[in-house]
Amino acid sequence: MHSLSCLLWLLGILFSTSLSLQHSILGERTLNELSMEEISTLISSPDPVKNVDPFSPSSHLSKILIPRPPDTDNNTMVRNYIVSTLKALKWQIEEDEFIDQTPVGPRRFVNIIATKDPTASRQVTLAAHYDSKYFPSYPLNQFVGATDSAAPCAMMLDLAEALNLLLDERKQRLEAGLEEDDDVSETTLQLIFFDGEEAFENWTDIDSIYGARHLAEKWAKTYVQPHTKRRLMNAQATEISTIEHLILLDLLGAPDPSIRSYFLETGWLFDAMVSVEKRLGQSSAFAYGDEKSMTAGKWRSYFRSRYANDVNLGYVGDDHVPFLRRGVSVLHLIPEPFPRVWHKLSDDASALDIPTMRRWNLILRIFISEYLNLRPSRSKRNVGTYVKSELELVS
């Protein structure tokens, strides 16, 4: 992504698209809040720290936290790790590979698209970029981009692991005719790990977001095959039109981020995430170790207040832009100002704050569970054979 001063040209994009943004099929709605018992289950298993601990060699984050510019061995290593992790959870994986010209010559890029239920009509899509910024020479070529965006990628893998069983069980209920909310059950969770977000030289509309530009264009031209479960889709539906919302994570993991609502259309979704944060904070869920700033009554919100006179503020150049221009509804989770370590060698493990990353994991787990109407209280991990016995009732 690039700073505000160099991206004023995006304001033109914003104004040209703000009136034509595709509203989500289900529209603005109130999400079903989980009970405190259900929340307690989700915030405890799996351990919300183990996947984002940069000092644990087995964590997702430690596997990503290496220099990984596009078309390098390290980039391939990280991609293979992400793919193998999600394949082990039985997600459908698409590797979107292409060659594009850059200021330093042709480069190979590979986007990773992981979809939990490929038969679903729609997706709520979480995304982050897994490449790190290209620097030609030492020591800058050792840049690891901890906040930019190794930590967000690790958070997405944590989310997939935390919700995997719940998503499986919801599909079983749907197939057995036991899911009450047919509309929400038509939406699955999708994760996109973009390659080539960073500019090779100077951020321009052609030297940046290589993977996002390619995928948005490709999906805008790819028509979805008819399927009996896709009852809400018209005959001309394209891949890009099946995205219910694109939730983009970037520059997360440093302490005390300040996140604003950039788009009026997703203000209600922003508010839903604020509600999750508030309930978790008030319940002392953020408390971690000796970190006093996370305890009930002392924690500070990561989100700025919204006001009646707010306007669209989509001026930060990032992977959402090609999707926004094609009418996709966007929730952009990026701090403003950027972390002080942005594009510096100091954006390494020392820039990350474990209590902060743990808090993001908890927020994302609860937020997506409420968005997709998942049911932790009915999960096998809590009530043994609930799904089996429920299916037997209708057999």
Per-residue pLDDT, 19: 35
Per-residue pLDDT, 227: 59
**Which of the four pLDDT bands, split at 50, 70 and 90, describes residue 42?**
very high
Q: Does domain 36-225+234-372 have CATH number 3.40.630.10?
A: yes
Sign of the dihedral through C-alpha 184, 188, 191, 192: negative
Residue type, 119: T
Count of CB atoms situated within 10 Å of the CB of 261: 24
Per-residue pLDDT, 183: 67
Given a cut of 50, whether residue 243 has pLDDT beyond it is yes
Per-residue pLDDT, 188: 95
Phi first, then psi, for residue 238 (nearest 5°) are: -105, 165
Per-residue pLDDT, 235: 59
Per-residue pLDDT, 382: 57
Higher model confidence: residue 389 or residue 27? Answer: 27
**Which of the four pLDDT bands, split at 50, 70 and 90, describes residue 109?**
very high
Residue-wise pLDDT tens digits, 150-203: 999 999 999 999 999 999 998 888 888 777 666 677 899 999 999 999 999 999
Interacting residues of 203 by C-beta distance below 8 A, sequence separation 6+: 2, 6, 7, 317
Higher model confidence: residue 291 or residue 242? Answer: 242
How are beta strands 105-115 and 187-194 bridged, if at all?
Answer: antiparallel
Average pLDDT score over residue span 214-233: 77
Catalytic annotation present for 197: yes
Catalytic annotation present for 250: yes
Per-residue pLDDT, 347: 98
Q: 335-339: long-range contacts at Cβ-Cβ below 8 A with a sequence spacing of 24 or more?
A: 335/251, 335/252, 335/254, 335/257, 335/258, 335/259, 336/258, 336/259, 336/260, 337/258, 338/1, 338/3, 338/251, 339/147, 339/148, 339/251, 339/254, 339/257
Per-residue pLDDT, 375: 85
Per-residue pLDDT, 185: 76
Per-residue pLDDT, 184: 77
Residue type, 202: N
Residue-wise pLDDT tens digits, 378-394: 666 654 433 343 434 33
Contact yes or no for 168/103 (Cβ under 8 A): no
Residue 201 is encoded by which pair of tokens? 């030289």
Number of helices (H), then strands (E), in the chain: 12, 6
Of residues 250, 318, 319, 348, which has the active-site annotation?
250
Q: Which of 13-17, 25-29, 280-284, 289-293 has the highest mean pLDDT?
A: 280-284
Which among 124, 48, 112 is positioned nearest to 85, based on CA atoms? 112
Tell me what percent of the residues of the chain surpass a pLDDT of 70: 85
- Per the prediction, the chain carries an average pLDDT of 88
For residues 126 and 149, give the distance between their C-alpha atoms in angstroms, rounded to a whole number: 13
Of residues 131, 161, 186, 197, which has the active-site annotation?
197
Residue type, 246: L
